[in-house]
Amino acid sequence: MDLAVGQTARDVLRGRPRGRLTRRQREALAGYLFVLPDALGLAVFAGLPMLLALALGFFTVDGFGGYRFAGLANYRRMLLDPLFLQSLRVTLAYVVMLVPSLYVVGLGLALLVQRRSRLSGVLRSLFFLPQMVSLVVVALVWQVLLVDKIGIVNRLLSPLGLGGLSWLGDPRLALVAVVAISVWFLMGFYMLIFLGGLQDIPKEYHEAARLDGARPAAAFLYITLPLLRPTSFFVVLTATVTAVAGGQIFDLIYVMTKGGPANATELAIYYIYQQAFQYNEFGYAGAMATVLVVLLLGLTLLLFAVTRGGRFDG
Amino acid sequence: MTDQRDGRTDRSGGWTRRRLLGTGAALGGSAALGGFPVVRRARAAAKTMSFWQFYAPGGPVPGQTKWFEDTIKAWNDTHDVKVDLNYIPSGDYMNGAKLPTAFASGQGPDLFLISPGDFLRYYNGGVLQDLTPYIDAKVQADFTPNIIASRKVDGKIYGVPMEVEPMAFYFRKDAFDKVGLNETDVPKTWEQLLEIAKKLTTPDRFGVLFETTPGYYQNFTWYPFLWQGGGEFQTADHKSALNAPAFVQALKFWQDAVASGAAPRKPLGGGAWDIAPNLGSGYCAMQNCGIWGISAMAANAKDVPYGVFKLPTPTDGKYVTVGGGWAIVANARGGNPEAAGQFCAWALASASPDSLKRMVDWCTVAKSDMPPRQSAFAMGKAAFDSGFMKTFTTEIYPGTRAEPRLPPQVYKAISDAIQACQLNGADPAQQAALASQQVDAFLAGYSGAEIL
C-alpha cells in the first residue's frame, strides 16, 4: 500500500483523501483556535508589556521620549529606597491579612449556603452582590460609611467606646480597613469557588461518617477540608496573586487613601504607579515592576512546591 | 447556497463560517486601525488642535463648560486652524495616567492645562512651547510678576495663567454663635485658631479642617504655614532649607490640630478642597480652603451662613498665603505648536479687550477667582469689590505668593514629612532633618529649570 505524505494507513482504510485532518486533529485545531484570541490578548496586553517593563528597567526614561541606558542603576536605587522597601512590607502585611481572611470567609459562606433552599439562593446572590458593583463605587460608599466621628460604622461602635476611631485616617487602622473592604468585595467570588469544591465531594463520605457517629466538626476536619485541597490551593494562589499584583485593590487605594495615611496603605503596586505616572520615573517603575513579578513568581513556585502542585500528597 | 467542498447546504443566509470570520477580522482590523492614534493623527493633519482639560464639553459645572465652549467657538469662527475640546474627568486629569501616557507615547495634546506643581515635569521634558513671541510686551507686564514667575524660565513665558486661587479660612457663623463667638473673634494666630477650634468641636463636628490626603494639593495648602515662619525650600546656593525651625513649627501646627481632636484625620467628599460636603454639611466649623469655596458654597450650600478670614500666622510671623491656579500651555512637539502658541496668547494674554474680558468672565462668572492680569481688576471692578470677593481682593490676595514649582522628588519628601507628623505622631524635628537629607541628595544631581 502506497501512502502519500500526511496520509496514514487508517486514513487510507477509511477512504479519507490525502490532506484531510482526522477528527482528533480537527478537534485539537478547533481547541487551539478557541484559545488563540485569549493567548493573543495575553501576549499583547500582558506578555509584551512585561517584556517592555523588563527592558525599561535598564533605562532612565523621562516620559517624553528620552531614553538613556542606565544599566543596573534602577535596581541599585531600589535597594536604597526606603519607600520601596516599606511598600513591600505593606504588601506583605496586606497578603498575610487578606489571604487567610478570604479563605475563612469564602469557605464559611460556602458552607452556610451549600444546602439548596430558597433562602440559600437569596443569600448566595446577596453575598455575590458586591462583585457586581464597580470597585470605585465600592470605595466611595465605604469611604462614607467609615467617616470619622459621624460615619455609620463609628455610630454603631460608639456604645462600645470605639466611636472615635479613624478607619481611613489612622495609619494603624487604614490597612486593616482596606483588607476588610477587600474581603467584603471578593468574598462572593471565593464563596462560589468553594461551593464548586464542596459540591464535588461525594455525599457518601459524609453519610458514612454520620453512620459511624462522627460529629459535624470531625466530618468537616477529616472529610471536607482534605477533599477541598485542590480548591484551597486555587483559592490561596489566586488570592495571593490578586493581593500582590493589586489588580483590584489598586482602585480602592486610589480612591480612598492615595497610599496614606503616612504611606500606611502604599502597596508596592501603588508606589510603582506613582513613580511612573506622577513622577515620570518610568525606568525606575519598570525595574520595580520586574522585581515584583519575580517575587510573585517565586511565591507561586513556593506554593506549588509546598502543595505538590495543589495535590498536597507526598 | 451550496458549499462545493462538502456538498452540504449552508443555511446561514449566504454566510459561511469562514466568510463570517474573515469579514469579522477585516472589520475588527479596520476598526482597530482607525482607532490607532498615529493613523488618526495623520488623517487629521495639523488643521485641528486638541485641547485636553477637565471642564468641557459636558463638564460638571455648566458656567465653566460654557466659558470653554464659547472661547473655542470664538477662536474657531475666526481662525483656519480649529481647536477641538477633549474633556477628561478632573481626577483622571490630575492624578491619572492619561496625560503622562499620551506624552510618553508621543501623542500629547496640542493644548492642555498644568498647575505650577507640574510645571517642571513638563518643562524639563521639553514639551512646553515658548509663548513669549505671541504675547505683547505690555500684556507681559500686565501679569502680576510673582504669579507669572512660576510659568517663566530665563525670562520666557511657557504658560498663560488663567486664574489665581488664594487659600483662606471659611467658618460657619451658626457654629460661632453657639459658643458665643462672632465675626470679630476670628483667629489671628495659630494658637488662637487651635483654641477656637477646640471650642467649636462637638461630638458631631470638628472645629477645623486641614487636608489630610497625601498629594500635591495637601502640600500646596501647607506651604503658607511654612512661609509664614520664614521657611523656604532651598538656600541661595541650592541646598535644602527644610531642616529649619519654620519647617518644624509648621509640621507641629498641623500635628497639634489633629492630636487635639479638633481636626479630623479624613475629610468628607473629594477632600479638604471640597467645601460643601465639609463646612456646608456641618462636618467642620472652620475649613482651610481656596477662593473657589465662594462659588461652591453659592452653588451647593447657599443657605449656610458663613464667613471668610485670612490665614492666621504664628506669633511674630508674617502673613502669607498661597495662590494656585491653572495655566494654558502649548505642546512644543504637537501637530501645530505655532498655532497652539497663538491660541494661548489670543485666549487670555492678548492686548484685545475680548481677551481681557474672557479672563474677567472666567474669574467672576464661571468661577470665583482672582485674575492674574492686573488690568482685569479694573475691568471686573464691580464683581471683585462685592461680597466675599471683596474680602479676597482687599485682605487675602495682597499677601499671596504663587504656588511653588517643585520637582516630584522634593514634593514627595515634604509630603512624607507632613503625613508622618500630622497622622502618625512623628517627631517634626526628625522629619524635617529626614526630608532635608532627601532633598539635598536630589538637588545634588538636579539639572532642570530653576526651582521656585
Q: Is B436 on the interface with A (CB under 8 A)?
A: no
Gap from A146 CA to chain B (nearest CA, Å): 10
Q: What is the pLDDT of residues B19-67, one digit of tens each?
A: 444 444 444 443 333 333 433 444 444 699 999 999 999 998 899 999 9
Contact A261 B283 (CB under 8 A): no
Which of A34-38, A203-207, B14-18 shows the lowest mean pLDDT across its residues?
B14-18
Q: Are B266 and A148 in contact (CB under 8 A)?
A: yes
Q: Is A257 on the interface with B (CB under 8 A)?
A: yes
Q: In terms of C-beta distances under 8 Å and separation of at least 24 residues, what long-range contacts does B273-278 make, across chains too?
A: B273/B211, B273/B217, B275/B170, B275/B301, B276/B300, B276/B301, B278/B209
Q: Is B282 on the interface with A (CB under 8 A)?
A: no
Q: What is the pLDDT of residues B144-192, one digit of tens each?
A: 999 999 999 999 999 999 999 999 999 999 999 999 999 999 999 999 9
* Mean pLDDT computed over A148-165: 92
Contact A64 B96 (CB under 8 A): no
Q: Is A67 on the interface with B (CB under 8 A)?
A: no
Give A282's contacts in chain B (Cβ within 8 Å).
Answer: 104
Q: Is A82 on the interface with B (CB under 8 A)?
A: no
Q: What pLDDT does residue B19 have? A: 45
Q: Quick one: cell of B155?
A: 525670562
How far apart (Å, rounded) are the C-alpha atoms in residues A282 and A59?
A: 9
Q: Is A86 on the interface with B (CB under 8 A)?
A: no
- Residue among A21, A52, A140, A149 with most chain B CBs within 10 A, to mutate: A149
Q: Which residue(s) pair with B321 in the sheet?
A: B400
Nearest to A258 among B127, B203, B213 (CB): B213
pLDDT over 90 (residue A249): no
Residue A15: which pLDDT band, with cuts at 50, 70 and 90? low
Q: Is B259 on the interface with A (CB under 8 A)?
A: no
Q: What pLDDT does residue A2 have? A: 55
Q: What is the pLDDT of residues B269-320, one digit of tens each?
A: 989 999 999 999 999 999 999 999 999 999 999 999 999 999 999 999 999 9
Q: Quick one: cell of A273?
A: 504607579
Give how far the C-alpha of residue B215 lies from the chain's centroid of Cα atoms, to the nearest Å. Answer: 12
A 94-123: CB under 8 A from B: none
Q: Residue B48: exposed, middle, or buried by beta-carbon count in 10 A (0-12, 13-18, 19+)? A: middle
Contact B96 A277 (CB under 8 A): yes
B6 vs B228, which has greater pLDDT? B228
Q: What pLDDT does residue A82 have? A: 93
Q: What pLDDT does residue A128 have? A: 95
Which regions of B21-123 does DSSP assign to beta strands (E)? Answer: 48-53, 82-87, 111-114
Give B412's contacts in chain A (Cβ within 8 Å).
Answer: 279
Q: Is B254 on the interface with A (CB under 8 A)?
A: no
Give A276's contacts in chain B (Cβ within 8 Å).
Answer: 97, 100
Give B212's contacts in chain A (Cβ within 8 Å).
Answer: 169, 260-261
Q: What pLDDT does residue A20 have? A: 81
What count of Cα atoms within 13 Å lies in the side-chain half-sphere of residue A120? 12
Q: Is B128 helix (H, G, I), strand (E, B) or coil?
A: strand
Q: What percent of chain B has pLDDT over 70?
A: 90
Q: SS3 letters for A25-82?
A: HHHHHHHHHHHHHHHHHHHHHHHHHHHHHHHHCCEEECCCCCEEECCCHHHHHHHCCH
Q: What pLDDT does residue B364 have? A: 95
* Mean pLDDT computed over B130-155: 96
Closest alpha carbon within chain B to A155? B204
Angle, alpha carbons B90-B95-B99 (nearest 5°): 80
Q: Are B323 and B166 in contact (CB under 8 A)?
A: yes
How far separated are the first and last CA of chain B, in Å rounded?
A: 76
Prior bond of A261 cis (ω within 30°): yes
pLDDT over 60 (residue A46): yes
Which of A89-103, A197-211, A246-260, B342-356 shows the lowest mean pLDDT across its residues?
A246-260
How far apart (Å, rounded) are the C-alpha atoms in residues A243 and A228?
A: 22
Angle, alpha carbons B86-B275-B273 (nearest 5°): 55
Q: What is the pLDDT of residues B54-74, one digit of tens each?
A: 999 999 889 999 999 999 999
Residue A4: which pLDDT band, with cuts at 50, 70 and 90? low
Nearest to A63 among B95, B125, B333 (CB): B125
Closest alpha carbon within chain B to A265? B214
Residue A8: which pLDDT band, with cuts at 50, 70 and 90? low
Residue A212: which pLDDT band, with cuts at 50, 70 and 90? very high
Residue A224: which pLDDT band, with cuts at 50, 70 and 90? very high
Angle, alpha carbons B188-B193-B199 (nearest 5°): 130
Q: What pLDDT does residue B94 have? A: 86
Q: Is B77 on the interface with A (CB under 8 A)?
A: no
Gap from B261 CA to chain A (nearest CA, Å): 9
Contact A279 B101 (CB under 8 A): no
Q: What is the pLDDT of residues A265-305, one digit of tens each?
A: 999 999 999 999 988 899 999 999 999 999 999 999 998 89
Contact A278 B95 (CB under 8 A): yes
Pairing mode, strands B327-330 and B160-161: antiparallel
Q: What pLDDT does residue B264 have? A: 97
How far apart (Å, rounded) are the C-alpha atoms in residues B347 and B327?
A: 11
* Mean pLDDT computed over A102-130: 93
Closest alpha carbon within chain B to A259? B214
Candidates A57, A58, A111, A302; CA nearest to A221 is A111
Gap from A149 CA to chain B (nearest CA, Å): 6
Closest alpha carbon within chain B to A278? B95
Q: Is B408 on the interface with A (CB under 8 A)?
A: yes
pLDDT over 50 (residue B4): no
Contact A147 B265 (CB under 8 A): no
Gap from A291 CA to chain B (nearest CA, Å): 22
Element (H, E) at B166: strand B165-172
Give B409's contacts in chain A (Cβ within 8 Å).
Answer: 279
Give A150's contacts in chain B (Cβ within 8 Å).
Answer: 204, 283
pLDDT over 60 (residue B322): yes
Residue the block writes with cell 474633556: B87
Q: Is B424 on the interface with A (CB under 8 A)?
A: yes
pLDDT over 90 (residue A196): yes
Residue the block writes with cell 501645530: B336
Gap from B333 CA to chain A (nearest CA, Å): 10
pLDDT over 50 (residue B97): yes
Contact A277 B100 (CB under 8 A): yes
How far apart (Å, rounded) are the C-alpha atoms in residues B84 and B299?
A: 28
How far separated are the first and last CA of chain A, in Å rounded?
A: 51
* Mean pLDDT computed over A55-69: 92
Closest alpha carbon within chain A to B99? A277
* Mean pLDDT computed over B227-242: 95
Q: Is B29 on the interface with A (CB under 8 A)?
A: no
Q: What pLDDT does residue B95 have? A: 81
Q: What pLDDT does residue A313 have? A: 63
* Mean pLDDT computed over A114-142: 92
Q: What pLDDT does residue A165 have? A: 95
Helices A229-245 + A174-199 axis angle, to 10: 150
Q: Is B412 on the interface with A (CB under 8 A)?
A: yes
Q: Is A114 helix (H, G, I), strand (E, B) or coil?
A: coil
Average pLDDT, chain A: 91
Give B426's contacts in chain A (Cβ within 8 Å).
Answer: 262
How far apart (Å, rounded) are the C-alpha atoms in residues B316 and B319?
A: 10
Prior bond of B57 cis (ω within 30°): yes
Q: What is the pTM of this model?
A: 0.86
Q: Is B101 on the interface with A (CB under 8 A)?
A: yes
* Mean pLDDT computed over B97-121: 93
Q: Is B212 on the interface with A (CB under 8 A)?
A: yes
Q: Is B126 on the interface with A (CB under 8 A)?
A: yes
